């Protein structure tokens, strides 16, 4: 197979959650640019409208779905609408995620814990259930790509304002990824995870900034950069190649893997 064909997504149908901004928007755009028709999903309608406009410029079919991934009814509707309008699902990118204000483990409000777990972990679980069910019924397999984090692999220095709910949820996503891969590999369904570290321009980085003073932002940024061997944050477009690899036939023998993009963060 030529390098041109191995990454080709023409004729494929993809679904991307958390597609209104940041990584989700970039992922959806990458898939559309490489030939896939894309269902974009988010709870944020206004910014999802902008993602729709951007994707339509690629000439591919785009389906906008407003849904909450922590709601089972919304998830079922999301998958049904995608199939009804675009056809059987080949690629699913479970990207939707949130954070709440930072708190030490023993001080985190149960409400904040439940809110993050419901979206970041239960949401991925619910999406995977429906995506796998659809791929099994279709009988041709598919690629599921879950978004974890470098914080799905390690803990975080207290000076960097960790949120145990987020860290626990992203560790949990890796468990879902590995178990899903093992259970459905023989059916041609591949399940892998991307684990980014500190990337500029993401929805989470914007939410985090809102919760900090300017001084806190500056001190945190200095420490993050100092602890990253590449001495910089990642840029969103630096994940496009990794996404395309996992979505395409280029990774046809790859499943159950967690691919980290962290500028060397976990190398020491």
Structural domains for the chain: 3-261 (3.40.50.720)
Q: pLDDT of 56-105, one tens digit each?
A: 999 999 999 999 999 999 999 999 999 999 999 999 999 999 999 999 99
The pLDDT, as a whole number, for residue 209 is 59
Model-level pTM? 0.94
26 and 200 in contact (C-beta within 8 Å)? no
Instruction: Give the CB-side neighbour count of residue 154, counting CA atoms within 13 A.
Output: 13
| Helix %, strand %, coil % of the chain (to 5) | 55, 15, 30
> Which value, to the nearest 10 degrees, does the dihedral of the CA atoms of residues 58, 59, 63, 68 take?
0
Band (1; pLDDT cuts 50, 70, 90): very low
So which residues are the catalytic ones?
A: 166
Distance spanning both ends of the chain, measured CA to CA:
37
Residue 13 has pLDDT above 80, yes or no: yes
The pair of three-digit structure tokens given for residue 26, joined into one six-digit string: 């970039």
């Amino acid at each position: 197979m030529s390098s041109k064909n191995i990454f080709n997504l023409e004729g494929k149908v993809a679904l991307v959650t958390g597609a209104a901004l940041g990584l989700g928007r970039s992922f959806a755009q990458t898939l559309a640019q490489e030939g896939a028709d894309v269902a974009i999903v988010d709870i944020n309608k206004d910014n999802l409208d902008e993602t729709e406009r951007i994707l339509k410029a690629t000439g591919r079919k785009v389906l906008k779905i407003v849904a909450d991934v922590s709601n089972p009814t919304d998830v079922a509707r999301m998958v049904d609408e995608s199939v009804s309008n675009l056809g059987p699902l080949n690629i699913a990118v479970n990207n939707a995620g949130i954070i709440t204000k930072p708190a030490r483990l023993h001080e985190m409000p149960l409400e904040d814990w439940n809110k993050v777990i419901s979206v970041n972990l239960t949401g991925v679980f619910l999406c995977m259930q429906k995506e796998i069910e659809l791929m099994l019924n279709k009988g041709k397999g598919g690629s599921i790509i879950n978004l974890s984090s470098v914080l799905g692999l390690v803990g975080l220095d207290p000076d960097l304002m960790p949120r145990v709910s987020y860290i626990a949820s992203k560790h949990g996503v890796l468990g879902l990824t590995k178990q899903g891969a093992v259970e459905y590999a023989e059916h041609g369904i591949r399940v892998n995870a991307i684990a980014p570290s500190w990337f500029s321009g993401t929805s989470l980085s914007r939410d985090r900034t809102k919760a900090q003073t300017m001084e806190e932002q500056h001190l945190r940024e200095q420490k993050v950069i100092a602890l990253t061997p590449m001495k910089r944050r990642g840029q969103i477009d630096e994940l496009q190649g990794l996404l395309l690899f996992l979505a395409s036939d280029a990774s046809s023998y790859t499943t159950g893997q967690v691919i980290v993009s962290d500028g060397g963060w976990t190398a020491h």
